[in-house]
Amino acid sequence: MDYRKELADYIFPNITESIEDLEKRYPERNLKEGAKVTRFAPSPTGFLHTGSLFTSLVAYKMAKDSGGIFYLRLEDTDTKREVEGSALLLIKQLHEFGIEADEGYLGNEEKGIYGPYVQSKRKTIYETVIKDMLIKGLAYPCFLSEEDLKELREEQTKNKEITGVYGKYAKYRDLAPEKALEMIKSGLAYVIRFKSSGNHLNKIKCHDEIRGDLELTENDQDIVIYKSDGLPTYHFAHVVDDHFMRTNLVTRGEEWLSSLPIHLELFKALGFKAPKYAHLPVIMKLDNGNRRKLSKRKDKEASVDFFLESGFEPHALLVYLMTIVNSNYEDFIVTSKDYDLGHFKMSLKKMSLDGALFDNAKLEFYAKEVLSKMNKDEISFKATEWAKVYSPELLSFIEKDPARFKEILNIEREKKNPRKDYAKYSDIYPVIRFFDHDEYLKMLEETKLEFNENIFIETIKNFLKLYKDKGFALDLDENTWFTNVKEVASKVGFCTDNKLYKEDPSKWAGNTNDACEIIRVAMTLRKVTPNLFAIMKILGEEEVKNRIEIIQNKI
């Protein structure tokens, strides 16, 4: 009598398929040589973590660069940690970053023939494999209770031994199947464990695509593969899913590296070819001079939502993350000035293991670069989309005159070295707010007028009067406008020849820069702004005149 078969049939009466059937149902993928099949396998336990975005970017790029497949698998077997709605949110957030899966769980639908791509829907697949393992003696029911396990751990700790269920401590690994069957029939709770044949005194050789060749301690733990709630553990689901979904490169967080021997042993025991692995460094943060992991609880940067809300262009965050992934990416940008990630070929070999330090200043730098490279249509469209969700004040500014908004954003944009005023969409409104007449008046209330203290107030008044009377020459080119400013400036005793001025500034009431500054402060209430001529053109003759009068009354 084959008791193992009887036991397996008793536990899984409805499983009629075999591993061979699964092999047929999920055939090898027919891809060109070298094409990578990668996946992103989030657990629906909350928002998209910046570390997960990093992981998904790597998986996505490895697939794209090699003409392979990037798919998404939802790992929802930890029902206790599941947060409702988070699976859909993850997909939405990935979509905002332009990381679209070719296949897999896509939110409201699934795509591809290797599904289901949601682990909780794959129960029969796991059970098919486990049933087969029970029959082959590769797995067994274990009746150790929580209490037993606690006692075992205590004893092992006391004896300074490795903790866990292994070797002589794996009390039920050699229990006769007919006896196990009896115990199950009597209603005893159990889990199913893998019967390891390893020895922790041995080392195994393995390879990581980032770290190279490694020697790790062989696994000898009889790990749980099937929990009492009828769901698989991560270790088991990883092996089964990545095998039957035909993943050939697993990219995942380095916290899984220590479990690699378990996974390799499982692959071998099942006769499956193991994929390649790349264990990615964790993103760290400097905190009071110490490096620590980016923490979900403590750090706002741990959630990608923070960046979206703050108005970072999602693409800019990806560019920044890519500089962490590959240090040579920065050289690529410097020489190519190309921010299209599709044009850069990522290499796991060039990934630094200790370089994953989150650097806000660097992010801001790249964010400014990316926004400055957009044309006026793109940036105004994206800023508007952002404002619709996050900034009513910017949105109301835009809605008053969308075409004008576009022109404002276009100031000093269409040139070789465009201005870099904005790192994020939220930086726009504070910079351009003065364009709005009512806001200008509000700002005038809020702030002190800051003219150059070295210029007599009478000179400023005089200059403004003469300038207003003369007219602003806004309908012609910038040179004519500037000549006009200079003409007025010289009338109030300003030097318009820089060289001459430098020889002895004390001889003059001011210079051309001072004249421009008076106009700038009058128009914008600021000393630093983008191109003044462009600003005045957008304001228009009428409003320029208006503002001069407002300032005249104020000083």
Indicate the residue among 75 and 127 with the shorter CB distance to ligand GLU: 75
User: CA nearest 449: which of 297, 331, 551, 326?
Assistant: 551
Tokens 């698998």 appear where?
73
3-state DSSP call for residue 551? helix
CA–CA dist 375, 386 (Å, integer): 17
**Beta carbon of residue 237, minimum distance to ligand GLU (angstroms, whole number):** 9
Q: Which of 4, 8, 38, 43 binds ligand GLU (CB under 6 A)?
A: 43
**Beta carbon of residue 208, minimum distance to ligand GLU (angstroms, whole number):** 14
CA–CA dist 515, 483 (Å, integer): 12
Indicate the residue among 80 and 343 with the shorter CB distance to ligand GLU: 80
Q: Which of 61, 193, 235, 238 binds ligand GLU (CB under 6 A)?
A: 238
Q: Which of 8, 11, 15, 41 binds ligand GLU (CB under 6 A)?
A: 41
Q: Is 486 in the site for ligand GLU (CB under 6 A)?
A: no
Indicate the residue among 8 and 223 with the shorter CB distance to ligand GLU: 223
The H-assigned helical ranges of 354-436 are 360-373, 376-390, 392-400, 402-409, 428-432
**Beta carbon of residue 234, minimum distance to ligand GLU (angstroms, whole number):** 6
Indicate the residue among 127 and 241 with the shorter CB distance to ligand GLU: 241
Angle at 167 between CA 178 and CA 236, to 5 degrees: 75
Q: Is 209 in the site for ligand GLU (CB under 6 A)?
A: no
Per-residue DSSP letter, 166: B
**Measured distance between the N- and C-terminal CA atoms of the chain, rounded to whole angstroms:** 105
Please report, for residues 18, 168, 192, 270, 384, the alpha-carbon distance to residue 175 in angstroms, rounded to integers and kept in the order given: 25, 12, 13, 22, 67
Q: Is 241 in the site for ligand GLU (CB under 6 A)?
A: no
Do the Cβ atoms of 222 and 193 come closer than 8 Å? yes
Indicate the residue among 119 and 384 with the shorter CB distance to ligand GLU: 119
CB atoms within 10 A of CB 103: 20
Range in contact with ligand GLU (rule: CB under 6 A) among 19-27, 35-43, 140-148, 501-509: 35-43
Indicate the residue among 238 and 424 with the shorter CB distance to ligand GLU: 238
Report cis status (omega within 30 of 0) of the bond before 116: yes
Range in contact with ligand GLU (rule: CB under 6 A) among 36-44, 120-128, 458-466, 498-506: 36-44
Q: Is 406 in the site for ligand GLU (CB under 6 A)?
A: no
What lies within 8 Å, CB to CB, of 385 at 6+ separation is: none
Measured in degrees and rounded to the nearest 5, phi and psi for residue 243 equal -70, -55
User: CA nearest 56: which of 325, 306, 274?
Assistant: 325
Tokens 């009492």 appear where?
228
Indicate the residue among 55 and 128 with the shorter CB distance to ligand GLU: 55
Range in contact with ligand GLU (rule: CB under 6 A) among 41-49, 102-110, 345-353, 547-555: 41-49
Q: Which of 8, 42, 235, 535 binds ligand GLU (CB under 6 A)?
A: 42
At 140, the amino acid letter reads Y
Indicate the residue among 134 and 239 with the shorter CB distance to ligand GLU: 239
- Range 319-358, binding ligand GLU (CB under 6 A): none
Range in contact with ligand GLU (rule: CB under 6 A) among 38-46, 93-101, 218-226, 343-351: 38-46
**Beta carbon of residue 209, minimum distance to ligand GLU (angstroms, whole number):** 14
**Beta carbon of residue 119, minimum distance to ligand GLU (angstroms, whole number):** 9
- Range 436-475, binding ligand GLU (CB under 6 A): none
Indicate the residue among 81 and 527 with the shorter CB distance to ligand GLU: 81
CA–CA dist 85, 382 (Å, integer): 26
Tokens of 421: 């005023």
Size of the site for ligand GLU (CB under 6 A): 7
CA–chain centroid gap for 411, Å, is: 30
User: CA nearest 296: which of 5, 49, 37, 32?
Assistant: 49
- Range 150-189, binding ligand GLU (CB under 6 A): none
Do the Cβ atoms of 263 and 51 come closer than 8 Å? no
At 244, the amino acid letter reads F
What lies within 8 Å, CB to CB, of 396 at 6+ separation is: none
Indicate the residue among 221 and 233 with the shorter CB distance to ligand GLU: 233
Q: Is 119 in the site for ligand GLU (CB under 6 A)?
A: no
CA–CA dist 311, 379 (Å, integer): 12
Tokens 């699976």 appear where?
87
**Beta carbon of residue 252, minimum distance to ligand GLU (angstroms, whole number):** 3
Indicate the residue among 251 and 426 with the shorter CB distance to ligand GLU: 251
Indicate the residue among 75 and 218 with the shorter CB distance to ligand GLU: 75
Q: Which of 252, 373, 413, 537 binds ligand GLU (CB under 6 A)?
A: 252
Tokens of 399: 């809605």
Q: Which of 8, 64, 68, 75 binds ligand GLU (CB under 6 A)?
A: 75
CA–CA dist 167, 200 (Å, integer): 10
**Beta carbon of residue 261, minimum distance to ligand GLU (angstroms, whole number):** 15
Indicate the residue among 72 and 322 with the shorter CB distance to ligand GLU: 72
3-state DSSP call for residue 47? coil
At 396, the amino acid letter reads S
**Beta carbon of residue 240, minimum distance to ligand GLU (angstroms, whole number):** 12
Residues that bind ligand GLU (CB under 6 A): 41-43, 75, 238, 252-253
